[in-house]
Amino acid sequence: MRNEGEGLYLKRKEGVKMGVKWTLNSLIPALLVVLITALLVFAMVFISSMTAAIDRMIVMLGSGNIVSYDDCDISSWESAEKFHVTSASGVVFSDNGKSLVNLKGIEEGYFDGERGETLKLEEMDLEGRNPIYISKTLALRLKLDFGDTMTLMLYETEKNRARPVLVTVKGIFDSGYAQLDRYLAYVDYSLIGGEGEWEIILGDNSETDKRAEELWAKGIWCETYREKYSSLYLNVKESVTILYVILASVALLAAFFSTDIVNVYLSRDYRDIMVLSILGMDTKRIRRIYLILSLRAVMVASLLGTVIGLILGSLSPLLIKAVSIANPGLVEYYISSFSVTVPWSAIIIMILSMALLSLITLYISLKKEKELGAITYES
């Protein structure tokens, strides 16, 4: 058990009543742990936020959480919306170029609510025939603005022919994910025709599988966005998994850096350790003091690094936005506008894991510390 003398010694070495300069000097050996923890937390916040944003954007730009070729009743589902859409392919021609487009035929109200807000849709009242909604990426490439007209060469699958249609830009949306929206455009449902399909958007992505199972139980064929866009979804998940493996390796490395703290403290307190030995304190008790001292320094450094990492993580949307403005190509495969999501459970697990690994490495380091044995032996 720690006696009062050991407690006072610990407080003194931690900077209590020793001044700000002493306290800062006592934390200097842990700066590396602060830096690594801050970078780890920042990376975890960024990855979590980006993954959640991409996951939701696949729903909004794709076919909703669930797509079905049969109509279904979802009136009992809370915060759920259903839209009847058709799809086709075509080519748009403007005075400044041309582009392939994947077309969606939509009905009025399609962009109401979350979808319109997520896609940052801007539109204006136009009297022009055949309104079309295009992405900001496509608008910039073809130098188009509200009210501009262009020719859409629409391919009709049922008739196996292409027909030209004059369309007018009514709305421009900016999903922030150029890789997904660069070829996407929306037109009126009547322009495309066909039987189409039903898109269902849920208030929470986590309910997707549950609701899909309910439809299957009623004999309604459906497909979740994870199944419909399996390649894209798996690519995102695999990328995230690889990044987390790398982060885990860095966290493990950071735990071993904590052994440097022991060495710095022992070198700094050489004379004090010798005095403790002369006063009769055995080596085990001295080791315990420096184990506690070093472990506390690691925990303080980890918590400080976590706070810094959270602050940096909260600023990550601004960073990505600035990069997207300066060099759009660098963030082509990322969402340039997203909200911050903090993975608290993952961060807590990381900090506890680092503390446990630090405890083990510090204990082993002190157990093998020859300098401490030499000091006590000489005394």
Please give the average pLDDT of every successive group of 10 residues along the chain, which has 379 residues: 61 62 68 85 87 86 89 87 90 90 90 87 81 91 91 80 88 82 89 86 89 92 89 76 76 71 70 70 75 80 90 86 67 68 85 77 66 51
**pLDDT value at residue 3:** 63
* CA–CA separation, 171 and 146 (whole Å): 7
Distance of CA 123 to the CA centre of its chain: 30
**pLDDT value at residue 84:** 92
Instruction: Outline where DSSP puts E strands in 65-138.
Output: 66-68, 81-94, 97-106, 122-123, 131-135
* CA–CA separation, 322 and 366 (whole Å): 47
Distance of CA 147 to the CA centre of its chain: 37
* CA–CA separation, 194 and 199 (whole Å): 15
* CA–CA separation, 176 and 119 (whole Å): 8
Q: Which residue has the tokens 């400080």?
A: 304
**pLDDT value at residue 202:** 92
Distance of CA 1 to the CA centre of its chain: 45
* DSSP per-residue letters across 295-343: HHHHHHHHHHHHHHHHHHHHTHHHHHHHHHHH-GGGGTTS-SS------
Which of 257, 338, 262, 341 is CA-nearest to residue 305?
A: 257
